[in-house]
Amino acid sequence: MSIHQDAHRWLFSATPLSLDQLALFDPDSGVVVCGDWLARGRVEGAFCSGIAAAGCLLRDTGIPLGKERSTAQRVKQ
């Protein structure tokens, strides 16, 4: 019985630009942008970026979150 193993790395997630933000939020439109590309291109970063995006939406709708550190950047127009 042969076993095949293969690993795939997402090469395009490592961007040369680092914003030091986990999510970008435009409160006027309610649009939140998140992803691994904002958080060093790693799976853990993608997870943390999604959590930050959810926090943006919850805060914008007035749902209390408790103590937390804001890691989202509001989009300037």
pLDDT band at 73 (very low <50, low <70, confident <90, very high): low
The percentage of the chain sitting over the pLDDT mark of 70, rounded to a whole number, equals 69
30 domain-assigned: yes
pLDDT band at 56 (very low <50, low <70, confident <90, very high): very high
Model pLDDT for residues 26-45, shown as the tens digit of each residue? 999 989 999 888 887 778 88
62 is in which domain, residue-wise? 18-67
37 domain-assigned: yes
23 domain-assigned: yes
72 domain-assigned: no
The pTM score is 0.66
pLDDT at 76: 56
How many domains is the chain built from?
1
Model pLDDT for residues 58-67, shown as the tens digit of each residue? 999 988 776 5
9 domain-assigned: no
The DSSP string of the chain is ----------GGG--S---S-SEEEETTTTEEEE-GGGTTTSHHHHHHHHHHHHHHHHHHHT----S----EEEPP-
Q: Is 14 helix (H, G, I), strand (E, B) or coil?
A: coil
